């Protein structure tokens, strides 16, 4: 459209008016506009010149769309009014349309504005041109429906308006398609209307819904296909394939209607139009209408009917987006519920702080570990609750302020010091008992800000076990160090891994010196091969007891009685207890000589 659009805007915000004008310009219109804010200014503007369209905001402080509609009616000016407002709900929009508004749009979503303008201006300009050609003396400020052609155009305009109203309040695709077909017959007075969608696999157009005098037509006609064969050359298939509107204004003589002519004429179809349904740049089907008059569809009717498919496309995208949003919300709800159940049933305590440092999650395991129910923790500042589990001497205002500063810094920056990401600490519970826990902290990012998640695992039993093990090891070491026999711990290669003070005294070596030696270095009675063979024997039997001769650091020899046991742990270890039997050997030798 290259004709200038004369637009009267009832709008108190110049910025909003400019936003609307930019959107109109992007839709390809040349605009001559004037902005008014009250009834007096609007009345003056209506008397000053002829307007094509009026837009009105919903929330003017002293002037509303109902008053604007009343003023238009009082002034006997037959031009459409469209509501364009920042805050408008469906109920308000429908009420205004019943009062005479032609459509309503949100300033936050002006995607349909170009389509709506095209629909309204087609009606306005075509009627004006016809009226002025028949009434050259009139100034064109009002229009009269004077002949059959104008009445026919009015029916189509009423049809498009009703479709537009239905589009705004329909949230179901099946109801949408059926409603469009029904309104086409009831309001547009078409003989029959149907919508068909393309099967992408078979490339066949399958009827989805219809209304009017169908009488089995869609079953009787041959299958409509998108292939280039007679059944694929009719208006419906051509409109889909070529992505433009196709008419057959004389079915009785139109050669492309040969495959369906007989069935169509028997049902009183004399002309037809097929309009492609384009959803997100993909042609998914067609909207086909039949009229009982030949040569019914001219440029006026076609221009108005094409706005219907644009409205359908808008509604389909709206419904699909609503369904996607609904599915996403349901999936999110299910995910959140699963997460809540997992967190609640987790054996590990979970504490979540929101971006303000308030506790938003405190699961059952956390309750058990801290001995404090969730109801006493959720909604409270994290630093206040943490302070409760510190030693009494640390429960000071300075400590609380320090905790608060640390928590808020973490939430603000999203950074946790490395030494605090995972740590062990002792809790001082309110009943006076103590409990060791291992804490891991990480930050999650949300639209509102950073949250912190702390997982807490009760490690009291592990700590007690570790303490018991340390005590046992210390006791074991004390026994070994005070034993009267020497002690050696060696690996399967004979390397010395541990030694007690008794063997150091017997051998004359220090502990450090012995840890650098191996059994063959001490063994005087067996060579290295014999030592290796004895180790293999010990591996087989598990234990052994034998006598040998060891060499002291100063080179002197001493007789030794050796008791060994093999342990497979840590790659294999041999525990040896060595007793110096030199004195016993000498006594035995003396007795033997006496005998």
Q: What is the pLDDT of residue 271?
A: 93
Q: How far apart are the first and last CA of the chain?
A: 139
Strand partners, 53: 7
Nearest to 383 by CA among 350, 357, 412: 357
CA 298-6-39 angle, 5° bins: 125
Please say if the pLDDT value at position 145 is more than 60.
Answer: no
Report the distance separating Cα 548 and Cα 543, nearest Å.
Answer: 16
Cβ–Cβ under 8 Å, residues 489 and 496: yes
Structure tokens at 368: 């058990």
* 230 alpha carbon, distance to own chain's centre: 48
pTM strictly above 0.85? no
Matching residue, tokens 């037959």: 78
Over residues 352-372, the mean pLDDT reads 89
Cβ–Cβ under 8 Å, residues 11 and 37: yes
Phi, psi torsion values for 234, nearest 5 degrees: -80, 180
Q: Alpha helix (H) ranges present in 6-135?
A: 14-26, 39-48, 65-74, 90-98, 113-134
Report the distance separating Cα 216 and Cα 223, nearest Å.
Answer: 13
The model's pLDDT over 209-227, given as tens digits with 9 standing for 90+, comes to 999 999 999 988 878 888 8
- Quickly state the pLDDT bin for 83 (edges 50, 70, 90): confident
Cβ–Cβ under 8 Å, residues 5 and 23: no
Q: What is the pLDDT of residue 315?
A: 81
Among 160-164, 394-398, 422-426, 525-529, the range scoring the smallest mean pLDDT is 160-164
- Quickly state the pLDDT bin for 142 (edges 50, 70, 90): very low
Report the distance separating Cα 183 and Cα 176, nearest Å.
Answer: 11
Report the distance separating Cα 394 and Cα 415, nearest Å.
Answer: 25
Report the distance separating Cα 69 and Cα 380, nearest Å.
Answer: 54
Cβ–Cβ under 8 Å, residues 221 and 263: yes
Report the distance separating Cα 432 and Cα 125, nearest Å.
Answer: 88
Q: What is the DSSP letter of 360?
A: E
Q: What is the pLDDT of residue 60?
A: 80
- Quickly state the pLDDT bin for 134 (edges 50, 70, 90): low
Long-range contacts of 146-149 (CB under 8 A, 24+ apart): none
* 377 alpha carbon, distance to own chain's centre: 29
The model's pLDDT over 147-193, given as tens digits with 9 standing for 90+, comes to 576 777 778 878 888 887 787 777 888 888 999 999 999 998 999 99
The model's pLDDT over 99-130, given as tens digits with 9 standing for 90+, comes to 778 777 778 777 778 878 877 777 676 666 65
Instruction: Give the number of other Cβ atoms within 10 Å of residue 390's Cβ.
Output: 17
Over residues 572-582, the mean pLDDT reads 91
Q: What is the pLDDT of residue 120?
A: 77
Count Cα neighbours of 202 within 13 Å in the Cβ-side half-sphere.
9
Instruction: Give the number of other Cβ atoms within 10 Å of residue 1's Cβ.
Output: 15
**Mean pLDDT for the chain overall:** 84
SS3 583: helix
Structure tokens at 517: 């030696």
Over residues 259-285, the mean pLDDT reads 91
- Quickly state the pLDDT bin for 143 (edges 50, 70, 90): very low
Please say if the pLDDT value at position 140 is more than 70.
Answer: no
Please say if the pLDDT value at position 53 is more than 50.
Answer: yes
Sheet containing strand 450-458, edge to edge, reads 359-362, 349-353, 450-458, 434-445, 422-428
The model's pLDDT over 508-559, given as tens digits with 9 standing for 90+, comes to 999 999 999 999 999 998 899 998 998 999 998 999 999 999 999 999 999 9
277-310 as b/e: b if 16+ CB within 10 A: bbeeeebbbbbbbbbeebebbeebbebbbbbbbb
Q: What is the pLDDT of residue 132?
A: 57
Q: What is the pLDDT of residue 336?
A: 63
DSSP letter string, 520-575: HHHBSSS-HHHHHHHHHHHHHHSEEEEEEEEE-TTS-EEEEEEEEEEE-GGG-EEE
Please say if the pLDDT value at position 38 is more than 70.
Answer: yes
- Quickly state the pLDDT bin for 263 (edges 50, 70, 90): very high
Count Cα neighbours of 241 within 13 Å in the Cβ-side half-sphere.
17
Q: What is the pLDDT of residue 146?
A: 42
- Quickly state the pLDDT bin for 298 (edges 50, 70, 90): confident
- Quickly state the pLDDT bin for 13 (edges 50, 70, 90): confident
CA distances from 158 to 89, 163, 213 (A): 23, 9, 20
Element (H, E) at 10: strand 4-10
Bigger pLDDT: 407 vs 311? 407
Domains along the sequence of the chain with CATH: 1-144 (3.40.50.2300), 188-341 (3.30.450.40), 346-462 (3.30.450.20), 483-594 (3.30.450.20)
Among 5-14, 31-40, 131-140, 247-256, the range scoring the smallest mean pLDDT is 131-140
Q: How many helices (H) and strands (E) does the chain have?
A: 21, 20
Count Cα neighbours of 535 within 13 Å in the Cβ-side half-sphere.
23
């Amino acid at each position: 459209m290259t004709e200038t659009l004369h637009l009267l805007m009832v709008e108190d915000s110049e910025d909003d008016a400019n936003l609307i004008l930019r959107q109109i310009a992007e839709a390809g219109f040349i605009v001559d506009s004037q902005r008014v804010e009250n009834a007096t200014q609007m009345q003056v503007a209506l008397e000053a010149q002829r307007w094509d369209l009026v837009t009105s905001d919903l929330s003017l402080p002293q002037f509303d769309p109902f008053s604007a509609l009343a003023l238009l009616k009082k002034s006997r000016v037959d031009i459409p009014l469209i509501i364009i407002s920042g805050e408008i709900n469906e109920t308000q929009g429908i009420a205004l349309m019943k009062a005479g508004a032609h459509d309503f749009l949100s300033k936050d979503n002006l995607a349909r504005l170009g389509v709506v303008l095209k629909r309204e201006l087609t009606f306005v300009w075509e009627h004006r041109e016809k009226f002025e050609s028949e009434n050259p003396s009139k100034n064109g400020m009002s229009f009269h429906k004077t002949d059959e052609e104008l009445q026919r155009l009015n029916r189509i305009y009423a049809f498009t308006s009703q479709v537009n109203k239905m589009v705004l309040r329909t949230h179901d695709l099946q109801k949408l398609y059926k409603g469009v077909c029904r309104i086409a017959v009831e309001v547009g007075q078409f003989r029959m209307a149907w919508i068909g969608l393309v099967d992408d696999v078979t490339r066949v157009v399958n009827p989805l819904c219809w209304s009017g005098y169908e009488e089995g037509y869609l079953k009787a006609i041959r299958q409509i296909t998108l292939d280039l064969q007679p059944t694929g050359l009719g208006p419906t298939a051509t409109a889909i394939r070529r992505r433009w509107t196709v008419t057959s204004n004389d079915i009785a003589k139109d050669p492309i209607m040969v495959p369906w002519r007989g069935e169509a004429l028997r049902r009183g179809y004399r002309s037809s139009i097929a309009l492609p349904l384009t959803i997100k740049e993909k042609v998914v089907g067609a909207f086909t209408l039949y009229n009982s008059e030949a040569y019914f569809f001219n440029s006026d009717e076609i221009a108005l009917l094409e706005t219907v498919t644009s409205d359908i496309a808008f509604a389909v995208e709206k419904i699909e987006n609503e369904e996607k949003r609904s599915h996403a919300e349901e999936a999110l709800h299910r995910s959140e519920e699963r997460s809540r159940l997992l967190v609640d049933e987790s054996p590990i305590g979970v504490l979540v702080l929101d971006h303000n440092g308030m506790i938003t999650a405190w699961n059952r395991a956390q309750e058990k570990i801290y001995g404090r129910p969730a109801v006493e923790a959720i909604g409270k500042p994290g630093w206040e609750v943490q302070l409760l589990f510190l030693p009494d001497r640390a429960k000071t205002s300075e400590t609380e302020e320090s905790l608060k500063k640390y928590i808020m810094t973490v939430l603000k920056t999203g950074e946790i010091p490395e030494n605090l990401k995972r740590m062990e600490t002792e809790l001082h519970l309110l009943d006076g008992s103590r409990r060791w826990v291992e804490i891991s902290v990480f930050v999650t990012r949300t639209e509102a800000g950073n949250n912190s998640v702390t997982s807490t695992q009760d490690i009291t039993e592990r700590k007690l076990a570790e303490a018991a093990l340390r005590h046992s090891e210390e006791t074991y070491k004390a026994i070994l160090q005070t034993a009267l026999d020497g002690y050696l711990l060696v690996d399967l290669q004979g390397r010395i891994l541990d030694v007690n003070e008794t063997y150091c005294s017997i051998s004359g070596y220090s502990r450090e010196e012995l840890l650098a030696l191996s059994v063959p270095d001490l063994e005087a009675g067996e060579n290295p091969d014999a030592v290796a063979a004895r180790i293999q024997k010990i591996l087989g039997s598990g234990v052994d007891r034998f006598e040998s001769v060891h060499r002291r650091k100063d080179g002197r020899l001493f007789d030794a009685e050796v008791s060994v046991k093999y342990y497979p742990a840590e790659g294999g270890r041999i525990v040896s207890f060595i007793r110096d039997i030199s004195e016993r050997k000498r006594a035995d030798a003396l007795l033997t000589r006496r005998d």
